[in-house]
Structure 1
Amino acid sequence: MTHQNTRTREIVRVGRTAILVSVVLALLEALEGVFSGSVSMILDGLSHITEASNAVITVLGARLAGKPADRKHPFGYGRVEYLSGLLIAGLTAYAGITGILGGIQSVLHPSRPRFTVYSFSIIIISMIARIVVGRHDIHTGKHTDSRALTQTGKSELKHSLLSLVTVAGMLVYTVFHISIESWLAIVISADILFGGLIMVRDMLSSMLGERMEEELAQDVERTILEEEQVFGAYDMSLNNYGPGRHTGSVHIAIPDTLSVVELDKITRRITQRVYQKHGVFLTGIGIYTQNTTDPEVIRIREDITAHAMSHPYVEQVHGFYLDPDEKKIRFDTVVSFDAPDRMQVRDQIRSETAERYPEYSVQVSLDTDFGMLPAKK
C-alpha cells in the first residue's frame, strides 16, 4: 500500500503540472489567435484544452484507482486507470477530428492573419512546453506503469507538431504572403486523429485481456523453482487488476513421496515469497505429482515427452501421471496458437501415444500458455 500511495502521489503531482501548463497556454494562445486572425493558432490553443482534460482524467483516475478494496470490489479499483487511458485516447481522436474540420472551414473561408513577435513567442513557448511536459509525462508514466499518464504524454508530443506547423505557416505567410497554415493544420490533425485511434485500439486490447507479461511470468516461475522439492511450474494464469496488482494461480510438480504437511509448508512459502518479490498474490497452487521411484514409469514419461515435443507446434508437456493399477496414462500439452488446429494436434498426440502403449488408456489435456513460455523455435 505504501508503494501504491507513493505511485499515486507521483502521478497526481505530474498531472497537476500538466493541467496548469495547458490551461495557461490555452488562454494565451487562443486569445492571441483571435486578435491575430490565425485559425491554426486558435486550433493550437484549443488543443491545450484537450491536453488539460487528459491530465484531469489522469489525476482523477489515479485517485480512484488508489481507493482500497471493498466488499463490492474486492480486487480494488486499479482498472479505473485503463478506463482513464481509453477516455484520453478518445479525446485525442476527437481533437484530431476537430482540427480537420477547423482546417477545412479555414480553407473554404480564408482570412488574412496578422502576426506579431508576440504571436511567434507564444507559439514557440507552447511547442517547447509541450515537448518538455510530454516527455516528462511519458517518462513518469513508464516509471509508474501508468498507461493513462503515458497516453497523456504522447498526446502532448503529437500536439507539439501542431505548434510547429503553426510556426511554419506564420513564417511562410510573413515571408511569401502565402497562407498554408490551414492545409498544414489539416495534415497534422489527421496524424493526431490516427494516433488517437491507435491509442483507442491499444487500450481496448488491454481491457479485453492480453497475454500476460512474459518477463513477470518467468520471474515468478524462477522464484517458485527456488524450492528444492519443486520440479516445475506450469499453467500459470495472472489476472491484472491495475498496474502492479496481479492475482493468479499456478500448478507445481512435486515428488509423489511428499506428505501433505510438507506440501502445505511448500505452498505457503511459495505464496509468501512470490508476493514479496513480485507483488503477485497466488490465490491457488495446484499439484502435479511426479513419480521419482519407479524406473519404468520414469522411462515411459521421458519417452512420451520426447515424442510429443517432436511435434512442431507442441511447446510443453507436463502433468504426466501413470496409474499402473488402472492402466491409465494422462498428461497435458501446451500447443502453440500458430497451429492451424490445436485440438487436432492434441488428438494426434493422443492417438500416437495410444499406439505406442496400447496396454494403457490415454488421456491428453490441451493447455493454453498465457505468457510463461517463449515461442518454440
Structure 2
Amino acid sequence: MMKANEEKRESVIVRTNIVGILTNLILVIFKAIVGLISNSIAILLDAVNNLSDALSSIITVIATKLANREPDKKHPLGHGRIEYLSAMIVAGIIFYAGITSLIESIKKIINPVKAEYSNITLIILVISIIIKLLLGKYVKNIGEKFNSPSLVASGSDATFDAILSFSVLASAIIYLLTNISLEAYVGVLISIFIIKSGIEIFMEAVDEILGKRVDRKTIAEIKKTICSIENVYGAYDLVLNNYGPDKYIGSVHIEILDSMTAEEIDPLERHIVNTVLEKHNIYLAGITIYSMNTKNEEIIKIHSNILKTVMSNKEIVEFHAFYVDMKEKTIRFDIIIDYSVKNREEIYDKILNDVKKEYPEYIFNIKVDIDI
C-alpha cells in the first residue's frame, strides 16, 4: 500500500512538472521573439525567468525519479533527500538568472535603448499572464494534495511570475501613453524578485537537510493516535527524522503500567508501529518505555505534589516519565524547558532544589529533554 502511494505520488509530480515545462517553454519562445522584435529588455528577462522555471521543473522531474529508487546497501533509508539537493540546484539556477538579469537591466538604465511595442506584444503579455495564473493555481493545488514542497513552490512562483509579467505589461502601456520608458527599471525589479526567490528556495532546502522541526499539529496527531491505543497512558519525546517529502522514520517514548510483562509489551509495541504506519505513513523504528507507578497510594501523592512544584515554573513546557523507587529511595522524571529560556541551568537547579526540599530523603534524577 505504501509503495503504491509513493508510485502514485511520483507519477503525479512528474506529470504536473511536464505540464509546467511545456507551458514555460512555449512562453519562452513567444516572449523571446516578442522581446527581440520590440527590443524590450523587460520582456526578454521575463522569458529568461520562464526558462529558469522550465529548467527547474526538469531538474525536479529527474530528482523525483532518483528519489524514488529502492533502498540499497549503501543507502538503506532510501534516496528521498535527493529532492532537497535538487531544490538547492534549482535555487542556484534561479539565483544565477536573477544576477544576470540584474546586470543586463542596469546596463539598459545606463545606456537606454528605445523599445517598440505593438498590439501583438500586448496581447501576448496578457495571454502569458492568464496562462501563468492558471498554471500556478493548478500546480500549487496538486502540490498541496500530494505534499510536494517543490510543486507548491513552483505554483507560488508561477503566480508571482504572472504579477511580474503584469508589471512588464503596465510599463509597456505607460510607454505607449506617455512615451516614458520604465522597462529597464522593471527589469531590475524582476531581477531582484528572481534573486529573492532563489535564496528562499535554497534556505528552505537547507532547513530540511539540517532537520527542520515537524509542525506541532502533526506531532500532536501522532501522539493522539498512540495514546488512543489500549494500555498506553502517554506518548513523549517523539523524534521524526526526515528522509525526503513524506518519508519519516522516528522513535517515541510511551508510558505504560509498571505491572506489564515483556510478553504483553512486545505485541503492544508492534501494534503501535503498525497503527502509526497505516494512519500517518510514518515508521517508528524505536519505542522506549516509561513505567508508571500503580501499586502504591503514597507514590501517587508524591507524583501529584512534584508535578505541581515543577509546573509552577512557567518556563517548563512538559513533565513526564515520573517514577519512584521506594526501596532505593530514588525519584526520576523528565522535563522540557522552553527554548526561549536563556538561563536553562538556573531553572534546572531551582527545580532540583525545590523537589529536594519537599523530599530530602530521596535522590533525584532529572533529565532535560529536547523540545522537539
Q: Is the pair's TM-score, using the shorter chain for normalization, greater than 0.5?
A: yes
User: In structure 2, what residue type is equivalent to 1:367?
Assistant: D
Are the equivalent residues in 2 in contact too, given 1:88–1:151 (CA < 8 A)? no
SS in 1 for 2:84: helix
In structure 1, the residue matched to 2:321 is 319
Are the equivalent residues in 1 in contact too, given 2:238–2:251 (CA < 8 A)? yes
Task: Verify: 1:16 aligned to 2:15, yes or no.
Answer: no
In structure 2, the residue matched to 1:240 is 242
Equivalence map 1:24-103=2 (5 Å):
24-103=26-105
Deviation of 1:197 (Å): 2.1
The size of the alignment, in residue pairs, is 370
Deviation of 1:6 (Å): 0.5
Deviation of 1:137 (Å): 1.6
Determine the C-alpha separation between the residues in 1 that align with 2:94 and 2:163: 14
Are the equivalent residues in 1 in contact too, given 2:226–2:276 (CA < 8 A)? yes
Q: Pick from 125, 128, 132 the counterpart of residue 127 of structure 2.
A: 125
In structure 2, the residue matched to 1:208 is 210
SS in 1 for 2:253: strand
Determine the C-alpha separation between the residues in 2 that align with 1:257 and 1:287: 13
Deviation of 1:200 (Å): 2.4
Q: Pick from 224, 227, 248 the counterpart of residue 225 of structure 1.
A: 227
Q: Percent identity?
A: 33
Deviation of 1:274 (Å): 0.9
Determine the C-alpha separation between the residues in 2 that align with 1:223 and 1:9: 30
Are the equivalent residues in 1 in contact too, given 2:14–2:64 (CA < 8 A)? yes
Cα deviation, 1:182-216, whole Å, max 9, x if unaligned, reads: 11221232233223323322322222111122122
**Unaligned segments of structure 1, at least 5 residues:** 371-377
Q: Pick closer, same or farther for the CA change 1:92–1:199 going to 2, 3 Å.
A: same
Report which stretch shifted further, 82-91 or 202-211.
Answer: 82-91
TM-score under structure 2 length normalisation: 0.95
Are the equivalent residues in 1 in contact too, given 2:309–2:354 (CA < 8 A)? no
User: In structure 1, what residue type is equivalent to 2:160?
Assistant: K
SS in 1 for 2:95: helix
Cα deviation, 1:96-155, whole Å, max 9, x if unaligned, reads: 322222211111222222222222222222222222112222221121111112222222
Task: Verify: 1:253 aligned to 2:255, yes or no.
Answer: yes
In structure 1, the residue matched to 2:172 is 170
In structure 2, the residue matched to 1:139 is 141
Deviation of 1:94 (Å): 2.8
In structure 2, the residue matched to 1:373 is none
Are the equivalent residues in 2 in contact too, given 1:89–1:151 (CA < 8 A)? no
Equivalence map 1:347-358=2 (5 Å):
347-358=349-360
